[in-house]
Amino acid sequence: MNNISDITHTNSPQLLFVGENSQDCSQFLQNLIEENISVKHIENSIDAIHYISENTVDVVLIKQFCSPLDAQKTLEYLNTEQEFNVPVLIILESEVNVQSSFDFRKTEVLSKELNSHDLKKVLNLLVEVTSQGYGPSTFSLQYLRSIGGDNEQFLIETFEIFKSSVTKQLKILEEAIKINNPQDISGVAHNIKPSFEMLMNDSGRDLCDKLTYELNKHKPAQILKELKIEYSKIEHEMALYLQKNPT
């Protein structure tokens, strides 16, 4: 594979590979292309930063020691200077784990050998982040996959816990808002927040933070309405996911 930067499929997930294209990487990327993944290769990490700022990317695959900025510095820059919310897979090139200020929930590592397990991890991630017509979804399974692996039963049970727990907590929150009890409003919102976080839903997390830490700056009834909408979106997409992935 000599010119991987030109490998594009119509209506397919977009993967950006950052770093030197070694023989192992070349075969790995070829396997992705055969799975109908569009791959853009940029060797220079600063050029990659510019590309990300101007183009849509579903997943970034980056070598630990890419240059001139290594993976850690590249991700730190993206996290600080840009509104970067794209999952990242780091190809380890040493035994030292990557420690970055970048949001750990959206960062995973692949082995230096880039084996079949790594390929499956990338493909699963691309399916998750592009599950709604190759666009951003209201939730990601990346964190849950890091806990339960490919155990679909674990996902189903987690979905059910999410739905029952959040439904119950939203009702409690609604009652607290009706009687205008600030302490209960903040407490319930704080309890709901982890449910959205485990699905990496930033909108739900931020809405809960507004009720927990900035209650006097917002209208609780409006925030509740937005939380219900966000919950409904997640519930709908969970149903779609289960239809596409029957056990």
Calpha distance 142→46 (Å, rounded): 26
Same CATH fold assignment for domains 4-136 and 152-244: no
Mean pLDDT value across the chain: 84
Helix (H) or strand (E) holding 28: helix 23-34
Calpha distance 181→198 (Å, rounded): 27
Single out the residue of 87, 90, 52 nearest to residue 70, CA to CA. 90
Of the listed ranges 35-44, 53-62, 121-130, 223-232, the least confidently predicted one is: 121-130
pTM of the predicted model as reported, rounded to 2 decimal places: 0.52
- Work out the pLDDT band at 134, boundaries 50, 70, 90: very low
Are the CB atoms for 45 and 1 separated by under 8 Å? no
- Work out the pLDDT band at 107, boundaries 50, 70, 90: confident
Over residues 179-187, mean pLDDT: 96
Over residues 203-218, mean pLDDT: 94
Cβ atoms within 10 Å of 136's Cβ, excluding its own? 13
Calpha distance 102→79 (Å, rounded): 6
- List strand residue ranges (DSSP E) for 113-245, in order: none
Q: What is the pLDDT of residue 132?
A: 44
State the virtual CA torsion across 3, 9, 13, 17 in degrees, nearest 10: 0
Which tens digit of pLDDT belongs to each residue from 54-104?
A: 887 889 999 999 999 999 999 988 888 776 778 899 998 876 555 444 444
Calpha distance 1→155 (Å, rounded): 37
Q: Which residue has the tokens 């990601």?
A: 140
Q: What is the CATH number of domain 152-244?
A: 1.20.120
Calpha distance 67→20 (Å, rounded): 9
Q: What is the CATH number of domain 4-136?
A: 3.40.50.2300
Helix (H) or strand (E) holding 194: helix 182-198
Distances (CA, A) of 82 to 42, 75, 93, 161: 19, 10, 26, 34
- Work out the pLDDT band at 145, boundaries 50, 70, 90: confident
Name every residue whose Cβ is closer than 8 Å to that of residue 167 and which is 6 or more positions away in sequence. 231
Q: What is the pLDDT of residue 96?
A: 58
Over residues 26-50, mean pLDDT: 90
Which residues, listed in sequence order, are joined to residue 90 by a DSSP beta bridge? 62, 109
CA 235 from chain centre, in angstroms, equals 17
Hey, is 188 helix, strand or coil?
Answer: helix
Q: Is the peptide bond before 68 cis (omega within 30 degrees of 0)?
A: yes
- Domain ranges in the chain? 4-136, 152-244
